[in-house]
Every structure is written in C-alpha cells, then in structure tokens.
C-alpha cells in the first residue's frame, strides 16, 4: 500500500514535469539516472580539493562527477513468506552532488561528465541481466539473489571502474582525437542493446523514499 502511494505521488510529478521534457528523480544530495536526465553545473556542489587542483594543473581537468551504482537486496519481511516470495534487487545509478566538483559551466564539459553517468547505467543493466540469468538457470529458487548478491555487485563495480578509467584516460586526461565520439557511440550502442534492463522509476524511488 505504501509503495502504491509513493508511486502515485511520483507519477503526478512525472506528469507535471512532462512540460519541460525532463523527468527528474533527485534530492539535494543525489540525482538518479533516467533516460532523459542530463547533468548540469548545479549538480556539482563540492568545493575544489588539493588533488583536484593538481589534476587541473596537470591535465586541465575541469570537472569530476562522482557517480555511484546504488544497490540493495530486499527480502520478504516475514519468514513464512520467504520462498513463496523471492528476493528483489534494486539498482540505481546516481551522482553524489556533494562529492562532484566543477570549475566550469561549459556544456561540452557537462557532456563529457554525462558519460560517467551513462556508463554507470550500463553496468546497472549488466547487473540486472546477470541476476535474471542466475534465476533462470536455477529454477527461480529462493535464496539465489541472497547467495550471489555480493559476488555479482563486486564484479560489476570492478568492471565499471575499469571502463570509466579507460574513458577518463582517453577523453579527459589525454584528450585523444575522436575519443569522445568513439566512446559515445560505443556506450549508446550498448545501452540500446540492453534497453530491456534499464533503470526504472521504482528503482530510483526505492533509494529516495526508503523501503517500498
């Protein structure tokens, strides 16, 4: 019942935001990924640090978006329901505004930072695909998500960080010719290919509102 009320409230918000063409799931600290959500300078609230200033001097780094893959495993509250009902994994990419820093409002820099957001969404989709594949291969038995949750999430985070570093190295640090366009094409193609595993509004709401 509580989930239904929360969802109705957010759906009203979706309707009111449709005039602008953007649906936002965010609070003062976090901004969650959705297909039409773009990063902007207001999402970068952290003060510059010594390490960031060093990167700015050495590589002319203008911004840093602190993107996170939020995840949680929910199990049925009542023991007698466990087995009848399965666990559920919620995943939602977001940017932590107070860990993200920018010394520019340049739109080109925002598009570069958007890639970190989109890569995090890509790996949220990969994680969902892996969890569903596990369930399918083991007959949808209770306890599969519980037993494999940490393993899957840890592996996904390692792979995501590797891809983000490779992107940052080519586009942000060394600014290689054509690198951004190459990465944009690659990530867009992968997102389209895995569209059935996209982050949904209820994933974002789980973290904004707590327990559904």
Tell me the per-residue pLDDT of 5-41, one tens digit each, with 9 for 90 and over: 434 444 434 433 433 345 679 999 999 999 999 999 9
pTM: 0.85
Domain of 99?
A: 2-209
How many Å apart are CA 108 and CA 191, to the nearest integer?
21
| Structural domains in the chain (count) | 1
Is 50 exceeded by the pLDDT of residue 96? yes
The structure tokens 């107070």 sit at 98
Is 70 exceeded by the pLDDT of residue 76? no
Is 90 exceeded by the pLDDT of residue 203? yes
Would you place residue 107 in the very low, low, confident or very high pLDDT band (cuts 50, 70, 90)? Answer: very high
Query: Which two structure tokens, joined as six digits, stand for 16?
Result: 């009111």
When the pLDDT of each residue in the chain is averaged and rounded to a whole number, the result is 86
| Buried residues in 155-182 as b, exposed as e (16+ CB within 10 A) | ebbeebeebbeebbebbbeeeeeeebee
pLDDT of residue 205: 95
Would you place residue 77 in the very low, low, confident or very high pLDDT band (cuts 50, 70, 90)? Answer: low
pLDDT of residue 59: 82
Contacts of 144 (CB under 8 A, 6+ apart): 87, 134, 135, 138
């Amino acid at each position: 019942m509580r989930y239904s009320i929360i969802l109705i409230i957010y759906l009203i918000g979706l309707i009111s935001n449709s005039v602008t063409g953007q649906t936002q799931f965010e609070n003062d600290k976090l901004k969650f990924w959705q297909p039409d959500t773009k990063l902007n300078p207001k999402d970068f609230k952290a003060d510059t640090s010594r390490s960031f200033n060093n990167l700015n001097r050495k590589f002319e780094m203008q911004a840093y978006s602190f993107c996170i893959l939020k995840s949680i495993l929910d199990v049925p509250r009542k023991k007698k329901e466990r087995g009848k009902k399965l666990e559920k994994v919620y995943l939602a990419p977001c940017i932590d505004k107070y860990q993200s820093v920018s010394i520019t409002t340049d739109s080109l820099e925002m598009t570069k930072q958007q890639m970190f957001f989109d890569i995090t969404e890509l790996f949220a989709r990969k994680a969902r695909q892996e969890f569903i594949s596990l369930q399918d291969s083991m007959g949808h038995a209770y306890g599969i998500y519980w037993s494999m949750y940490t393993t899957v999430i840890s592996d996904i985070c390692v792979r995501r960080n590797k891809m983000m570093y490779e992107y940052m190295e080519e586009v942000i640090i060394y600014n290689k010719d054509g690198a951004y366009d190459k990465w944009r094409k690659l990530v867009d193609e992968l997102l389209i290919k895995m569209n059935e595993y996209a982050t949904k509004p209820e994933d974002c709401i789980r973290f904004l509102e707590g327990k559904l």
